Structure 1
Amino acid sequence: MCGYPIILDLSGRRVAVVGLGAVGRRKALGLIEAGAKVVAIDPVGFPGPPPPGLTILAEPYRTEHLEGALLAFASATPEVNRLVVADARRLGILVNAASDPTSGDFSLPAVHRDGPLLLAVSTGGAGPALAGSLRDRAAVALGPSASGMALLLAELRPLARSRIPNATTRRRLFRRWADPSWLDRWAADGPEAVRSLLIDSIDHAAFGGDDPS
């Protein structure tokens, strides 16, 4: 599959998940984590109390279940999945099909979340297990400093914008902040040392000085 990667903001958006086996439950929980309003359709229902954000329709799938959904996930039997894919196509809804990924519109990457950091790895469906292994290796290599650095930049970028009126100067500063060596400093010296250096770099850039780092 030759895909186009995007990060969707699903906050408050309706998403339909048809089938609540192991695959469907995993997808439903991931969608809830992303802020979606998940409607899950399965005659058997959900094992145990459903988590907040999940609406269960314990009934056989019908076309109407997809109405108003931004995305649809077909995670039931192959026969039901084919119906879901066909209905979603007629309704103009992007659909993911668990039993036959090539019949759907998109596949799901292997994902690692840590604070604001989201790492996604895909093999285009050629090797999901390989994608998971690569994700795990990358997550270990990045370590906790990557998400910590992302949180710190989210805090300091507005300060830099308020202190540095020149857009070109800000862009140069932000490029320096993106240097991977900051992750090494984080691991070696700790977050407060990095924070202090980044704030100093804002002060120097604001007054036209050199980067102190």
Structure 2
Amino acid sequence: MDMDVTRMPRYYPIMADLEGVPCLVVGGGTIAERKLSGLLECGAAVTVVAPEWTDGIEAWRQQGEVELRAKRYAPGDLADAALVFAATDSREVNRMVCEQAEAEGRWASNAAEPESGRFVVPASLRRGKLLLAVSTSGASPGLAAQIRDELAASYGDEYEAMLEFLEAFRQEMKHRLPDERARRAWARRLLTADLPAVVRSGGWETFCRARLAELRQDPAYRHEPPAGSDK
């Protein structure tokens, strides 16, 4: 197959805590709005640089959720940004943003040409604490979105309730069940049940109470927390 295919990097998957992290979005269109939505959901401190912007971005500006600079991009706009998102309708501007970010040791993403940036943003699906991310390494964002949508049919809202309980159960085991093998056995036991079906059946609260009661009857369970524990 004789085609001119740009070589894509081999990406390393990572989940990043962006709470309070200064991020710069260059561009004010629908693509920039999508990037901005995800960043705000994660609590990032976002600055937008654009001569014009969507109604959605304007709403965030009025609510004080973003700093908006009504201007065209200039190199000085990169100052203080830990992550940079080039999302304009100009390939030349996007490339310039990424090149200047690279020169300054900043990580940048190019929405139009992923290979020119340091990272890509995957298609993602969030169900409470469950976060599924799908990437084709920039080869086909459309396919990544299609796979994400297919996953959405399999991983519904019930996973939010499931993970809330599983996290609480894990924390109780961590503080009250000192035997690591016993903790692993309990974790396996929980996950062998068809938890999504239990949630959908309406019997989730009964299930959770029953599993906690069984845990507290385990011979290895400590009914008093270990010394020095706040649990």
In structure 2, what is the equivalent of residue 90 of structure 1?
Answer: 103
In structure 2, what is the equivalent of residue 177 of structure 1?
Answer: 190
Number of paired residues? 208
Whether the 8 Å contact between 1:17 and 1:73 is mirrored in structure 2 is: yes
2:114 partner amino acid: P
1:15 partner amino acid: C
Counterparts in 2 of 1:1-213, with a 5 A limit?
1=8, 2-45=10-53, 47=55, 48-49=58-59, 50=61, 51-76=63-88, 77-179=90-192, 181-188=194-201, 190-204=203-217, 206-208=218-220
Return the alpha-carbon distance in structure 2 between the equivalents of residues 58 and 39 of structure 1. Answer: 11
Give the C-alpha shift of residue 164 in structure 1: 0.7
In structure 1, what is the equivalent of residue 3 of structure 2?
Answer: none
State the SS of the aligned residue for 1:138: helix
State the SS of the aligned residue for 1:112: strand
Indicate the percent of aligned positions where both proteins have the same amino acid: 34
Structure 2: tracts of 5 or more residues without a match: 1-7, 222-231
Structure 1: tracts of 5 or more residues without a match: none
Give the C-alpha shift of residue 180 in structure 1: 6.0
Cα RMSD (Å) of the superposition?
Answer: 2.0
Give the C-alpha shift of residue 14 in structure 1: 0.3
Runs of 4+ in 1 over 6 A off after TM superposition: none
Q: What TM-score, normalized by structure 1, do the two folds share? A: 0.88
Give the C-alpha shift of residue 140 in structure 1: 1.4
Distance 1:124 1:207, change over 3 A: same
Moved more, 75-84 or 167-176: 167-176
Moved more, 85-94 or 136-145: 136-145
Return the alpha-carbon distance in structure 1 between the equivalents of residues 17 and 192 of structure 2. Answer: 27
Whether the 8 Å contact between 1:18 and 1:42 is mirrored in structure 2 is: yes
Return the alpha-carbon distance in structure 2 between the equivalents of residues 190 and 134 of structure 1. Answer: 31
1:62 partner amino acid: A
Distance 1:183 1:81, change over 3 A: same
Give the C-alpha shift of residue 148 in structure 1: 1.2
